[in-house]
Amino acid sequence: MIRGVVIGEVWATRKNPALQGRKLLLVSQLSVHMDGTRHFTGRVIVAMDNLDADVGQEVVVAFGSGARNAIEPGSRSVLVDAAVVQVIDGSST
Amino acid sequence: MILGRVVGQVWATRKCRRLEGQKLLLVQPLCWHLPDHETDHVVAVDPVGAEVGQDVVICMGTPARLALGDTRFPVEASVAAIVDDVEMWEGRLQRPVNGSGQSGGAR
């Protein structure tokens, strides 16, 4: 899983039917150092979201089958390889 | 998933039989923080019908095969959606901050 900031939302009309009604967020990976400084790593991913994360919020994104389980547990039919699994309220760094 | 721009199409005569009839696109991942030449291009199967110049969402791994309707396709990247619009957080990508401690944004 990675930690990132939601930087935008992706809109698409023509898409695989399995993505119908799903919210796609653009998440920029964040690297947080021991001294509290943070910077974007440059990696930007598209993550599915069913936690209603807003632009500007910090989130945790899971990949692979973990992401599928977050959207629909046990399902193999959801077209997702990255999903928001937590919206971060606060952290110690 | 990643966001990418379709920059070309790949044609092949000799190919795995399960790839016959599939359109292969050359996609450049969109990464605002890196110069264009530093991102690796991805070849993705396109069941949606994207064209050169369009922005697309690419999914990788098992979902890429699911997008084609069968997990046995010899594919690891496929187009999941054609992007109409990306609603951006104002200024976030125009001013990437490196290590100055100001880039949290959320707080």
CATH of residue A29: 2.40.50.220
- pLDDT at position A93: 66
Residue A18 lies inside a defined structural domain of this protein: yes
- Give the total number of structural domains in chain A: 1
Res B60 pLDDT > 80: yes
Residue A92 lies inside a defined structural domain of this protein: no
Res B91 pLDDT > 60: no
Q: Which CATH class is domain B2-82?
A: mainly beta
Residue A93 lies inside a defined structural domain of this protein: no
The domain spans of chain B are 2-82
> Cβ contact (<8 Å) for B88 and A65?
no
Q: Would you say the pTM of this structure is higher than 0.95? A: no
Res B92 pLDDT > 60: no
Size of chain B, expressed as the number of residues it contains: 107
- pLDDT at position B33: 62
- pLDDT at position A33: 84
- CA distances to A24, A26, B28, B60, B78 from B37, rounded to whole Å, are 27, 22, 10, 21, 22
Residue A20 lies inside a defined structural domain of this protein: yes
Domain that holds residue A73: 2-87
> Cβ contact (<8 Å) for B106 and A36?
no
Among A10, A18, A39, beta carbon nearest to B103: A39
CA B104 – CA B107 distance, rounded (Å):
6
- Search chain B and give the residue with CA nearest A6: B89
Residue A13 lies inside a defined structural domain of this protein: yes
Please list, residue by residue across A40-66, b when 16 or more beta carbons sit within 10 angstroms of its beta carbon and e when fewer do: bebbbbbbbbeeebebebbbbbbbebe
Question: Which residues, including other chains, have CB under 8 Å from residue B25's CB and lie 6 or more apart?
Answer: B6, B8, B9, B10, B43, B44, B45, B46, B50, B56, B79
